[in-house]
A and B are shown apart, each in its own frame.
Chain A
């Protein structure tokens, strides 16, 4: 699928979601399981992207302590947990990645 087709369909679906109840008025009630389930959507989707991304940096599984992305990701998780700060988390993760790659490259750990 072309990127423009993806964006237009994704955009229309998002717009339809935003319009849904405003247009249908409040004739339909939101089911309780739907309301409760929404809370888990971002957490589940993002985790399902993060873990494979860290363990398979080049699209092949590399589950090892010698995987710089995995180590840097763990550093970022720790920083995110302690600080809850987006910018600090990104900076710490990037710094960790660069340092770990340098260590592995230069000192042959």
Chain B
């Protein structure tokens, strides 16, 4: 166990999170600009970054709002897309169990993919210590600040872009850029194809409920194929 002061821990988290911002800030800018072009309004766009505070779920929510999906479908999709955070929560739980409720609430709010990545690495490398959670706070707050600020700048930029530009097409392109590199094995590829095809066939279902059906069938297909390969 290496004991450090609160200040050292906090700034350690800030320092380790900083390089990751290079990858996060462009997405914040893009989100702000696209949310505006999806007619979300600048206040709601900024609020979404503070309230949901999860990149991919925010992009999807903006897209679904723009295409007139029902509120229930949007809420369910956001929930499912963010379910992975339960794994991060489980993985960090033993390290923060001694903290009070206030700390647990605050750190949970700040628990994003990027904050988790550096924080769990820190715990694994340095072990538990009384003030270790200040590192988590430093990393989480750094990402939070960058995400809010880049959203704000993106909203400003988005408001300057003429409405005639086909900016709406950037959203599906962003999704393509996220999905295609993630297809690393047969189970993933088939899951994507099945989800896409069911989404297409079920497109006529009201309020985009076809999206939920398609995602569910895609996930189950992926699990089945992966199970068979073992």
A residues sitting closer than 8 Å to B (CB atoms) are 1-11, 13-15, 17-26, 30, 33, 35-56, 59, 61, 69, 72-73, 76-77, 80-81, 84-87, 89-90, 93-94, 97-98
- In the complex, number of A-B residue pairs with CB atoms less than 8 Å apart: 254
Among candidates A1, A45, A61, residue contacting B211 with C-beta atoms closer than 8 Å: A45
**Contacts of B1-56 to chain A: CB distance below 8 A:** 26, 40-41, 44, 47-48, 51-54, 56
Contact A10–B75 (Cβ < 8 Å): yes
A residues near B181, Cβ cutoff 8 Å: 80-81, 84
Does B126 make an interface contact (CB < 8 A)? no
B74 to chain A, nearest CB (A): 5
Known contacts A1-B71, A7-B52, A17-B79; decide if A50 and B175 are in contact (CB<8 Å): yes
Interface residues of B, count at CB 8 A:
87
Interface of B is mostly: helix
Q: In the bound complex, do residue B191 and residue A52 qualify as a contact, i.e. CB atoms below 8 Å apart?
A: no
Beta-carbon nearest neighbor of B101 in chain A: A23
In the bound complex, what is the Cα–Cα distance between A57 and B228 (angstroms)?
37
When distances are taken between beta carbons in the complex, the residues of chain A under 8 Å from B84 are: 38, 41
B163 close to A (CB within 8 Å): no
* Residues in A neighbouring B187, C-beta threshold 8 A: 40
Q: Which residue of B lies closest to A10 (CB)?
A: B78
Further pairs besides A2-B71, A7-B51, A87-B26: 9, Cβ < 8 Å: A6-B65, A6-B75, A13-B75, A14-B78, A37-B222, A44-B218, A45-B195, A48-B196, A77-B176
Binary flags per residue of B78-99, CB closer than 8 Å to A gives 1, else 0: 1111111111111111101100
In the complex with contacts A41-B219, A45-B211, A93-B176, A9-B75 CB distance below 8 A: yes
**Chain A residues closer than 8 Å to B183, beta-carbon distance:** 43
What chain B residues lie within 8 Å of A25 (beta carbons)?
Answer: 93-94, 97
Interface 9-mer from B107-115, B145-153, B154-162:
B107-115
Report if A18-B88 is in contact (Cβ < 8 Å); known contacts: A26-B93, A81-B180.
yes
Known: A45-B60, A80-B180. A18 touches B85 (CB 8 A): yes
A43 / chain B contacts, CB cutoff of 8 Å: 179, 182-183, 188, 191-192, 195, 218, 222
Q: Is the CB of B85 within 8 A of A17?
A: yes
A18 and B109 in contact (CB under 8 A), knowing A44-B192, A80-B177? yes
A52: chain B residues at CB < 8 Å are 196, 199-200, 203, 210
Verify B86–A14 contact, CB threshold 8 A.
Answer: no
List, in ascending order, chain A residues with CB within 8 A of B226's CB. Answer: 36
> In the assembled complex, how far is the CB of residue B67 from the closest CB belonging to chain A, in whole angstroms?
8
Tell me, yes or no, whether B118 is within 8 Å of chain A by CB: no
User: Contact between B86 and A21 (Cβ–Cβ < 8 Å)?
Assistant: yes
Question: What's the minimum C-beta distance from A61 to chain B, rounded to whole angstroms?
Answer: 7
User: Shortest CB–CB separation between residue B15 and chain A, in angstroms?
Assistant: 23
